[in-house]
Amino acid sequence: METTAKSPNIFAVCVTYEGRLTELKTLSEELDRRQKSLSEYLDSKRFVFSRFYFLSDEYLLAILGSSDPDAVQPHMLKLFDNCKELIFSKSKIVIGMESDEG
C-alpha cells in the first residue's frame, strides 16, 4: 500500500513491484474462500429457518449481525405475507404482529 500511495500510476506500480501479481492472486483466492464460507454459514441459517430464503445475503447479515430484535422489523414483509411488524413487550419478547393494513 505504501508503494502504491507513493506512485499514483497503477500500471507502473503493478509492473515494477516484484511479486505483486502473485500477492493479488493470493488475496483474491483468500477472498473467494471467505466468501464461500460466509455463503455456507448463511445457508445453514436458512436451512434452520426457511423464511430466511426470502432475504438477500445483505439483509440476512443485517439481522444476524445484530443482537437487537428490532433489526428484523424492516424485513417483516419479505419474511411473512402481510406482516408489517412485530410487537414486542418491554422485555423484548414478541407478543403480536401487525398487518400491513393495520
Cell numbers representing residue 23 in the block:
500477492
pLDDT at 33: 98
Spatial CA neighbour of 75 closest among 54, 93, 46, 96:
54
Q: How confident is the model at residue 40 (pLDDT cuts 50, 70, 90)?
A: very high
Q: Whole-number mean pLDDT of the chain? A: 89
Q: Which amino acid is at 15?
A: V
Query: Which residues, other chains included, contact 13 with Cβ-Cβ below 8 Å and sequence gap of 6+?
Result: 3, 4, 7, 20
- The mean pLDDT value for 5-34 works out to 83
Per CATH, which fold does 50-102 belong to? Split barrel-like (3.20.180)
Evaluate if pTM is beyond 0.75.
Answer: no
Torsional sign, CA 70, 71, 74, 75: negative
Which of 3-12, 28-37, 45-54, 89-98 bottoms out in mean pLDDT, i.e. has the lowest? 3-12
